[in-house]
Structure 1
Amino acid sequence: MTTMLLLLCFLLVHISGIACNFATDKEALLSFKSKVIDPQNTLSTWTTDSHHCEWYGVKCSNIGRRVKSLNLRGLSLSGKLPSQLSKLTYLHSLDLSANSFHGQIPPDISYLSLLNILFLSSNNLSGSIPPQLGQLKRLHSLDLSVNNLTGEIPSTLCNLSSLKYLAIARNHLSGEIPTQIGNLGNLSQLQLSENDLSGQLPSSLFHISQLTYLSVTCNNLSGKLPASLGFSLPNIKNLSLATNRFEGPIPHSISNSSQLEYLDLSNNFFHGNLPFFNNFENLVYLTLGNNSLSSTTSLNSQFFDSLTNSTKLQVLILYHNNLAGELPSSIQNLSTKLYWFCVADNFLTGKIPQGWKEFQHLEFLSFESNHFSGELPSEIGSLSNLVELSIDDNVLSGEIPDIFGNLTSLSTISMAYNQFTGRIHQSIGQCKSLNFLYIGMNKLGGTIPKEIFDLPGLTLDLSSNNLGGIIPESLEKLQDLNTLNLSFNHLEGQVPMKGVFMNLSQVDLRANDMLCSIDMEIARKLGILLCHVGKKKRHILLPIILAVIGATILLISMLSLLWIVIFKRRRSRESNVNSTSALVGDGRFLTNESSEYSTQSYSIEVDNHSVHHWRRKAEECVDAVIRVGLSCTAQQPKDRCTMRDTSIKLQAIRKSMFAL
């Protein structure tokens, strides 16, 4: 009987405890609601007359109906985190991420001793990380990333032996990574990127063999990587050490980390030869850019050969190193899934290798700032998914192949600072997504294809070439042409007055001696000639002045010469007549002198014929000069004679004149 009474008392106490905790959970939730701002009114179901286990974001246990999980992620909630949360003592999972909570993290959260998951990321939380969080012995996932947390990483977090996931990235944490980090033997993911951490990576970190994800990018960490890196982290899949101050060679042992999928060592001070990656069958992303790694033609061949087994490779970035020598033809054996290939800003030489037609997923192709020579491979024209093509600042030559008709996804074409010749292909106009076209500083000639000017939102730089012709009037229709640089060419005609030309800061037309504007201020600011506008026709001042002056000078010269010749002939005739009269008066020479007079009369007739011939030729010269002048005053710029042709024609007329 006594036993039965004791059991009954125990049940009554247990039931009353459950009822008490039940009521405490509900009160804690209602208190939480009263202290936060809920702009979307998501917590409207949280009322006193409803069961709290049915409220939005709340999950309860089957026994006792205790609050086991609270998930209010991404609801735009704001305010400070209420300390009343610590009364939810049965809580296993708390997710308040992606809201706008501010203030400090309440240290009382450490009372939630059953907590497995604590997600407070993507808020505006500030202050330091409470060291009391190290008391949550059952915690296996902690995410405090994307906040404004400051101070050092508390060493007490290294007591969380059950922790598998630790993310405190994108805060303002400083100091060194705790040396006790190696105590987290079950840790598989560690995300510390985008803070202000300094010092070296603790050696104990490389004792966590379970690590699959390690990211410390964008900090001030320094030192060398351990030679045993690949043996210490055999299961690593993502290793991101970019944008720090690491130095020394990349350990050869890294080839032992054969599970690697993502390797980013860019923006550091690594030096030595390019490492080889023979065993990386799962490698997807490899970037070693902006270091001081070196190579030769032979090492380039070995490096690219080592990647032929990486059949999943999508990104290969080697920009801004000290790579030298030629690229091997084995590049064509890389993964056909490649969509980003960049070897920019190195010292590579020789020709750009062939074989690009194999990479139909390629979107970014960059060879700029090297010493590549020869012609651009026409196979690039088969890359229909290409978004960016950058080959500027090399020594490439020959004509640009007509490859653009199939490259309709291109947004950037950068070919400046080379030695390309020939014409610009009108097929560029088919690149409807084009935003940037840089082909300046080459030796291109011909006219600018009008199809280019049909591309909206374009930044266009064709400066420092040998381009000629007129600027199409249709360019006035383009209101959203970002920048236009056609300087240092041989363009001619009148500059349009609307569209992009309304904003002179976007336009550079300097050093085109045949361009003009009807607006004096625009002409002054653009550094071009001033056009003269008549009632019916538009005239370019310089050609007219040259033609009129040339015709006037030539006409005056001819009239002067004609007058001199006629005057001399008259004097010669009068002299001959006087001589003849004198000789006739003296009978001794009458016969001989009569004969001479007859000869002189014939000579005068011949000379008169020559004068008539000379006069006709002179009139033809005047005619020709006038025709040149008229051709310079045509209404349409395309019909006007160029400065060069005008000069050539006037020179020819001048030579014809002096030949007479």
Structure 2
Amino acid sequence: MQELSYLHLGVNLLTGPIPPSLGNLSKLSHLVLFNNSLSGPVPAIFGSIQTLIWLQLQHNNLSGNLNFLSSLSNCMRLQNLDLYDNSFTGRIPDTMGNLSAQLFEFGLGDNKLTGGLPSSLSNLSSLEWIYLANNQLTGEIPESITRMQNLVWLDVSHNDMLGTIPAQIGMLSKLQKLIIDGNRFHGCIPDSIGNLTMLEYIYLFENQFNSTIPACLFHLDKIITLDLSINSFSGPLPSDVGGLKQVDTIDLSSNFLLGSIPKSFGKLSMLTYLNLSHNSFEDSIPVSFKELRSLESLDLSSNNLSGNIPMFLANLTFLKTLNLSFNNLQGKVPQGGIFSNISLQSLVGNIGLCGIPRLRFSPCMEKPHSNTMHFLRFLLPSVPIAFGCTVIFIYQTIRKKLKNKGEVEDFGIDPSNVMYHKAPVLP
């Protein structure tokens, strides 16, 4: 056993504490114990295994504080340290910054940790993956984290952190996933975020951001998911939104956005999910939406949109979910496609809609046939003229007959008193 270098006991039914005797395996490089029911603290003696490269203890019931991290600073070859989904408590110690310079993966999410992120975290310059979600962490994201040039994944979601996004976050040139939702971050999205050209996933929802959305965000053409919902973003959306060439999901719901919905949304050919609900968007639904042929879910509810529901929405083949409720839409509800099985909940709150008897909307008033309207436009202006000519003709005929009899009398009709009124022209 002293020569053992790889011990994989993951995904079993192991219970009880981790035996401290494992620390005697002085040549061990990989210790994998994840997905068990192990409990108790992590033995500090693991720090004596200087050959250790991988330590994976995630998905157990381990508890206690993180003081054992100090002993792991002796493991100078350590590259992977996964401790997430346990019951660790207390603060992340400053000594964490003394861990191996080769460490590239560090996971402490889904525990019961408190306190702030130590600034010494930035000493771990090789880190690519930081997972600290679902704890009770407080404080701000240290500005020093922007020096971690190899960082690809940063997840501190669902904590109680506050402050602003570091102004120099654009220095993290390899960052692909920025996941900080479910905190109390506020302020603006720094313009430097436009330098994160590798960014694919941005989750900022459920925070307190209260600025406009910078146009530079929509120049990041590798973004797949953009979720800024449940914040206090305000102002109009930049027309640059069409720059998100690979985006699949956009959620900007529950903010204070206003103005027209940019036509450039029509350029997002890969978009499948769009939620702009609970804002103050106005004007009509853009015609360019007909180009969103991959769209599966569209929520525009609780805005100030007006005009008719576009017929082309019925032609979006993949559209399975549509919510247009609580706007100022009017006119006939389209038929076919998504509207074949649409519910009242998806259209309620638009008092000007008509059609679809099964939803108890009022019947639509049929407009006169276009040929009839065309005929009336030419007929009505000639009616007063014809009437006047008829009166004069009758007068002259009667007068002539009376003259022939020598009994001309005044019948009280004077052609000069015949009024000519301009008939109204139909629109």
CA distance in 1, matches of 2:194, 2:30: 39
Q: How does 1:16-27 map to 2 (within 5 A)?
A: none
User: In the alignment, what sits opposite 1:134?
Assistant: none
Deviates more, 1:316-325 or 1:499-508: 499-508
User: In the alignment, what sits opposite 1:469?
Assistant: 283
CA distance in 2, matches of 1:370, 1:458: 27
- Asked if structure 1 preserves the Cα contact closer than 8 Å seen for 2:18 and 2:43, the reply is no
Q: Determine whether 1:272 maps to 2:90.
A: yes
Name the one with the larger helix percent: 1
- Asked if structure 1 preserves the Cα contact closer than 8 Å seen for 2:114 and 2:136, the reply is yes
User: In the alignment, what sits opposite 1:488?
Assistant: 302
- Asked if structure 1 preserves the Cα contact closer than 8 Å seen for 2:293 and 2:317, the reply is no
Q: Determine whether 1:359 maps to 2:172.
A: yes
Change (3 A) 1:504 1:413: closer
- Aligned match of 1:198 in 15, 20, 33? 15
Amino acid at match of 2:279: N
- Aligned match of 1:347 in 160, 168, 171? 160
Q: Determine whether 1:506 maps to 2:327.
A: no
Amino acid at match of 1:411: I
SS in 2 for 1:510: coil
CA distance in 2, matches of 1:532, 1:337: 64
Task: State the 1:510 CA deviation.
Answer: 0.8
Change (3 A) 1:330 1:414: same
- Aligned match of 2:367 in 534, 537, 547? 534
- Deviation digits for residues 165-191 of structure 1 (CA, Å, limit 9, x no counterpart): xxxxxxxxxxxxxxxxxxx11111112
CA distance in 2, matches of 1:533, 1:448: 30
Q: How does 1:107-506 map to 2 (within 5 A)?
A: 184-231=1-48, 233-250=49-66, 251=68, 252-275=70-93, 276-296=96-116, 300=117, 303-304=118-119, 306-333=120-147, 335-455=148-268, 456-499=270-313, 505-506=320-321
Task: State the 1:239 CA deviation.
Answer: 0.6
Change (3 A) 1:237 1:523: closer
CA distance in 1, matches of 2:273, 2:298: 6
SS in 2 for 1:369: coil
SS in 1 for 2:98: coil
Task: State the 1:350 CA deviation.
Answer: 1.4
CA distance in 2, matches of 1:509, 1:518: 11
TM-score normalised to structure 2 length: 0.76
- Asked if structure 2 preserves the Cα contact closer than 8 Å seen for 1:485 and 1:509, the reply is yes
Task: State the 1:406 CA deviation.
Answer: 2.9
Task: State the 1:536 CA deviation.
Answer: 6.9
Change (3 A) 1:502 1:268: same
- Asked if structure 2 preserves the Cα contact closer than 8 Å seen for 1:516 and 1:523, the reply is no
SS in 1 for 2:264: helix
- Deviation digits for residues 521-571 of structure 1 (CA, Å, limit 9, x no counterpart): 75845224226563678xxxxxxxxxxxxxxxxxxxxxxxxxxxxxxxxxx
CA distance in 1, matches of 2:310, 2:61: 53
User: In the alignment, what sits opposite 2:414?
Assistant: none
SS in 2 for 1:347: coil
SS in 1 for 2:145: helix
Change (3 A) 1:489 1:194: same
Q: CA RMSD in A?
A: 2.5
CA distance in 2, matches of 1:533, 1:190: 78
Amino acid at match of 2:367: G
CA distance in 2, matches of 1:516, 1:206: 75
CA distance in 1, matches of 2:252, 2:365: 33
Amino acid at match of 1:385: M
CA distance in 1, matches of 2:13, 2:332: 56
CA distance in 1, matches of 2:169, 2:62: 34
- Deviation digits for residues 460-493 of structure 1 (CA, Å, limit 9, x no counterpart): 0111000011112342343320110111001111
- Deviation digits for residues 211-255 of structure 1 (CA, Å, limit 9, x no counterpart): 111111122222211133313x22211111111111111213222
Change (3 A) 1:516 1:189: farther
- Asked if structure 2 preserves the Cα contact closer than 8 Å seen for 1:495 and 1:515, the reply is yes
Task: State the 1:336 CA deviation.
Answer: 0.6
Change (3 A) 1:341 1:532: farther
SS in 1 for 2:257: coil
- Deviation digits for residues 58-78 of structure 1 (CA, Å, limit 9, x no counterpart): xxxxxxxxxxxxxxxxxxxxx
CA distance in 2, matches of 1:185, 1:523: 68
CA distance in 1, matches of 2:294, 2:195: 30
- Asked if structure 1 preserves the Cα contact closer than 8 Å seen for 2:22 and 2:46, the reply is no
Percent identity of equivalent pairs: 32
- Asked if structure 1 preserves the Cα contact closer than 8 Å seen for 2:181 and 2:206, the reply is yes
SS in 2 for 1:255: helix
CA distance in 2, matches of 1:532, 1:257: 80
- Asked if structure 2 preserves the Cα contact closer than 8 Å seen for 1:332 and 1:355, the reply is yes
Which ranges of structure 1 fall in alignment gaps of 5 or more residues?
Answer: 1-183, 538-625, 631-660
- Asked if structure 2 preserves the Cα contact closer than 8 Å seen for 1:280 and 1:309, the reply is no
Task: State the 1:502 CA deviation.
Answer: 6.7
Which ranges of structure 2 fall in alignment gaps of 5 or more residues?
Answer: 355-363, 371-423
Change (3 A) 1:215 1:470: same
CA distance in 2, matches of 1:367, 1:283: 22
- Asked if structure 2 preserves the Cα contact closer than 8 Å seen for 1:382 and 1:406, the reply is no
CA distance in 2, matches of 1:389, 1:507: 24
TM-score normalised to structure 1 length: 0.50
Hey, which bits of structure 1, 4+ residues long, moved more than 6 A?
none
Task: State the 1:201 CA deviation.
Answer: 2.0
CA distance in 1, matches of 2:286, 2:369: 20
* Structure having the higher Rg: 1
- Asked if structure 1 preserves the Cα contact closer than 8 Å seen for 2:326 and 2:347, the reply is no
Amino acid at match of 2:251: Y
User: In the alignment, what sits opposite 2:399?
Assistant: none
- Deviation digits for residues 234-279 of structure 1 (CA, Å, limit 9, x no counterpart): 2211111111111111213222223211111011111111032324
